Amino acid sequence: MNGITPLLALACAVLPSFAQKVHVDYDRGCNFSRYKTYRWVQLPESLQPAVAQSAEGPFPNQLMHERIMRFVEEALAAKRLTRVETGGDLLVGYEMKMTEQPQYTTVSDGWGWGWGSAFSTTTTQIILTGTLVIDMMDPRQKQLVFQGVSTETISSKPEKNTKKLQKGINKMFGKYPPRM
């Protein structure tokens, strides 16, 4: 039993940690103070990724899509941007990608290394990672002026995914408008 405790502690220490990563990029020459309104747009079908599939079905599903839009709208409203149905100073769109990453865990009895035989077992677990990309484009210049990217592991619990989405979107728009 005493030999297992250090092994478990070591296994926990070396397992990759999947902390939420958020970063933004923006046009450094852009005057963001002129933007007052925005309109939702969809990427052209040729640019949209294929709908990701998870064990629960397409991702994001309709409920998650509505949450993403609501969280973005709340963040933009906090920045004093108003949603319009036509026109708009900014065009806002998003895409969600999901990837599978294998995670390998090996547990050994630790008694090899020359004075006995070691037994080890390796297990594989698939970790689902979601990446949300939010683009803000200037329709007059026809170019991207702000992009936020949030990457996080996807949980099997929708409540956790909802909290992670809201946190990631708030972090993105915490950096909008950029301070130059």
Q: What is the pLDDT of residue 46?
A: 35
Q: Which of 9-13, 82-86, 114-118 has the lowest mean pLDDT?
A: 9-13
Token duo for residue 141: 């210049």
Q: Within a domain: residue 35?
A: yes
Which H or E element spans position 145? strand 143-153
Q: Is the pLDDT of residue 113 over 90?
A: no
> Which pLDDT band, with edges at 50, 70 and 90, does 150 fall under?
very high
Structure confidence by residue, pLDDT tens digits, 46-102: 344 444 444 455 557 888 889 999 999 999 999 999 999 999 999 999 998 888 888
- Kindly provide the residue ranges of all beta strands, DSSP E only, lying in 9-142, ordered along the sequence: 21-26, 37-40, 52-54, 57-59, 82-83, 90-108, 120-138
- Which of 22 and 112 is assigned the larger pLDDT? 22
Q: Within a domain: residue 13?
A: no
Q: In this structure, what CATH number is given to the domain that contains residue 67? A: 3.30.160.670
Structure confidence by residue, pLDDT tens digits, 118-139: 677 888 888 888 899 999 999 9
Q: Within a domain: residue 51?
A: yes
Q: Which of 3-17, 53-67, 149-163, 165-179 has the lowest mean pLDDT?
A: 3-17
Structurally, the chain folds into a number of domains equal to: 1
Estimate the share of the chain in helix, then strand, then coil, as percent rounded to the nearest 5.
Answer: 25, 35, 35
Q: Within a domain: residue 143?
A: yes
- Residue in this structure with the two tokens 């026809």, named with its chain if needed: 142
Q: CA triplet 75, 136, 100: central angle to 5 degrees? A: 85
Q: What is the pLDDT of residue 9?
A: 39
Token duo for residue 68: 């993403």
- Expressed as residue numbers, the domain containing 82 is 24-100+127-173
Sheet (strand 90-108) strand order: 21-26, 143-153, 120-138, 90-108, 37-40, 82-83
What 8-state DSSP symbol labels residue 137?
A: E
Structure confidence by residue, pLDDT tens digits, 85-98: 999 999 999 998 88
Q: Within a domain: residue 9?
A: no
Q: Within a domain: residue 119?
A: no
Q: What is the pLDDT of residue 132?
A: 93
